[in-house]
Structure 1
């Protein structure tokens, strides 16, 4: 059969195609990077697109780094008292004095006692210009109880004052005490979530993998604990701690209490995940190869949803920080000489003191910022760990 002269011959071989078939399998560098990326790298790319979570993560990282050098960051030592400046209001930072640039400085106070209401009244005196010193020698402290030092990033002027957030009833600088208190309030959340993770993974893992009577009993225990009001239960357990305990034992006791009451939600999450994963082929393969149950759970099953556990734990940390703050505020948590944000807020229990000296409420600001930052950070981690987003 002969084709017409104007007919187009169809290609019979690959070489007759009008394009290079290998071009179908040529990827751009971005596509190659996407196909070859690990799970952690994919999570990081997704996490970076969540701007509030990224900013919150940077804020929390800087905050936790700051607790390593609290003594250096604080203008005063933790227990430094200024008897002549009790309940002094915050001092404002200025740059210009009488039209001339001086640099960062504060005005000193003139003090008088109002005999009508016995209130201490402070007024800034423009003649007392007190320049702020940087990278200077100030109050003596023991750095992590290892050696004595005097180096501070910010110091008051010689024979001057620097109370950027005011002082308390003993004349102690509120800003310095907030910086020191961050060390306790932030670490108690990490230690508490460590206890919660261990209990949640172990109990939830055994209930999800083995099932049976243990799963039934563990679920009933979880339901009982979750049905109890959190704050009264915290108060009851915290009241059990002996008064004769040293502050460090009270600190660890509060940490254990917070961890013991927060593992239930995590255990349920682990159980539900293991129920879905224990029937997978790779679990059956591990059983055939002779792997014991603990290895299957902790080596093969738990890593499969470790990213979800991290996101859940991140969201649970602010709950523990609020728990410690609540207990310390009510006088049943940490006690002096340990300093935390909750201990600082306990001085603001008296409404009259708050009305007269509102700067005593400054410690509530870092609590709010940290809780919000952890919530944003946890939301970003959860979205990044979700394979369907």
Structure 2
């Protein structure tokens, strides 16, 4: 039983409880309570995150995409530069399982091309007498896996002597699906590399400005205001246009990454500064200062973990912003250049309204861009809620 309370006005230092201790009065936690109280912070975050079903599904989707870019040569039915000159601007081929009521398995019908002289357009029709089974784990176009060794093993291949264009072909007869798979490697990694560069600048500059203040904080705020006052698209175009045309595709890739990182750090730096201005007055910061801790250690070990949920949400929002930035620059012809392939470069095929009207499948690279951006936003919502210590 609990000890009785002292009478009103009785001095606490003279009050001694004479009630015997009863072990049965101690409340015993259940196994579920022990599991929660003994769990680490990461485990608690995971339990909260997996309750957000949409964020969990988005995380699985993005993880599958990033694993896919490791083996995109194996997943693509054709090589990146394979041309099928007999099937220029061919529409997508639907996959069938049954032919005349009989189960055949996954296959496509062969194609016949006729030239419409009235519309000056190639027209394709299915030849139902040509059944072309889809092969799996087969030998096809040769490629160099990550530029290290040659191979010709593919997950999906057309029938021998046939064709397989599940998303159609472009103006050079190249398979759109294969080029989308190859383009994912550049479009997805440029967001990760760019956000890493942006976070380093934003956290370091914003952290120093918010923790120390003074003249450095004043200069940083004026620089941020100037950069944020310039329209994004013209600034991207100006910075991308100054890159020499003689640069190799790899240098162009890193140049675009640096440009996107330089323009994205301002928002994060301002958010970090405002958070540190509020947290630096806390008692634990004063205690760390009295113990002789340096400013960089206080920012890294004590202040930044206090608003990690905000940083996570900012990262998951900034990555799709950088993907859109690269897509916009490449679409305008100022970003990445051939032979590098990204989703933005693929969308340059659909610049003309007439091209879209005749060949709408050239807009298919827009679909993974939309899905990836939505997935990052949903994932950011789930991670923010899971990492928020006040929820």
- SS of 1:243's equivalent in the other structure is coil
Q: What is the aligned partner in structure 2 of residue 320 from structure 1?
A: 322
Q: CA deviation at 1:353?
A: 0.9
Deviation of 1:284 (Å) = 2.2
Instruction: Identify which range, 114-123 or 289-298, moves more after superposition.
Output: 289-298
State the shift of 1:244 in Å: 1.4
Q: Indicate if the aligned counterparts of 1:311 and 1:378 stay in contact, CA closer than 8 A.
A: yes
CA distance in 2, matches of 1:297, 1:47: 26
Matched, 1:263 2:238: no
Cα distance in structure 2, aligned partners of 1:153 and 1:108: 21
Instruction: Tell me, in whole angstroms, the C-alpha distance in 2 between the residues paired with 1:20 and 1:212.
Output: 60
Write out the 4+ residue segments of structure 1 that deviate beyond 4 Å after TM superposition. Answer: 12-15
Is 1:236–2:238 an aligned residue pair? yes
Partner of 1:37: 39
Q: What secondary structure, in the 3-state scheme, does the structure 1 residue paired with 2:244 have?
A: coil
What is the CA-CA distance between 1:287 and the residue it aligns to?
2.1
- Paired with 2:380 and 2:146, the residues of 1 have a C-alpha distance of 31
Cα offset for 1:306? Answer: 2.9
Q: Does 1:20 find its partner at 2:24?
A: yes
Local SS of the residue matching 1:85? coil
Is 1:150 matched with 2:152?
yes
Of 44, 47, 50, the residue aligned with 2:49 is 47
Q: CA deviation at 1:282?
A: 2.7
**1:167-246 correspondence runs (5 A):** 167-246=169-248
Matches of 2:389 and 2:300, distance apart in 1: 21
Equivalent residue, structure 2, for 1:4: none
State how far apart, in whole Å, the 1-side matches of 2:384 and 2:301 are: 22
Q: Tell me the equivalent position of 1:311.
A: 313
Within the candidate set 106, 115, 118, 1:116 is matched to 118
Once the two structures are overlaid, the 10-residue window that deviates more, 141-150 or 41-50, is: 41-50
**Distance in structure 1 (CA, Å) of the matches to 2:266 and 2:31:** 46
Distance of 1:215 and 1:36 partners within structure 2: 42
Q: Cα RMSD over matched residues? A: 1.4
Are the counterparts in 2 of residues 312 and 382 from structure 1 also a CA contact under 8 Å? Answer: no
* Aligned mates of 1:14, 1:228 — CA distance in 2: 75
Q: How far does residue 151 in structure 1 lie from its aligned partner after superposition?
A: 0.6
Aligned to 2:293: 291
Offset, 1:14: 4.7
Once residues 230 and 384 of structure 2 are traced to their aligned partners in structure 1, the CA distance between those partners, rounded to angstroms, is 28
Separation (CA, whole Å) in 1 of partners of 2:314 and 2:321:
12
Is 1:105 paired with 2:110? no
Identify unmatched segments of 5+ residues in structure 1: 1-11
Query: Displacement, 1:212?
Result: 0.4
Alignment counterpart, residue 135 of structure 1, candidates 129, 134, 137: 137
Question: Unaligned regions of 5+ residues in structure 2, if any?
Answer: 1-17
- In 2, Cα distance between the equivalents of 1:157 and 1:73? 16
Q: Deviations over 1:12-32 (max 9, x none)?
A: 9557x8x9302x2x1111111
Corresponding pairs, count: 374
Instruction: Give yes or no for contact 2:136–2:157 (8 Å, CA) kept in 1.
Output: yes
Partner Cα distance (1:272, 1:13) in 2:
53
Q: Distance in 2 between the 1:127 and 1:358 partners?
A: 27
**Cα offset, 1:201, TM superposition:** 0.6
Aligned to 2:372: 370
Distance 1:296 1:204 in 2: 14
Give the drift of 1:239. 1.2
Tell me the residue number matched to 2:9. none
1:79 Cα deviation from its structure 2 partner = 0.2
Q: TM-score, normalised by structure 1?
A: 0.93
The answer on whether the counterparts of 2:194 and 2:322 sit within 8 Å (CA) in structure 1 is yes
Counterpart CA distance in 2 for 1:20 and 1:38 is 29
Conserved? CA contact 2:309–2:385, under 8 Å:
no
1:230 Cα offset (Å): 1.2
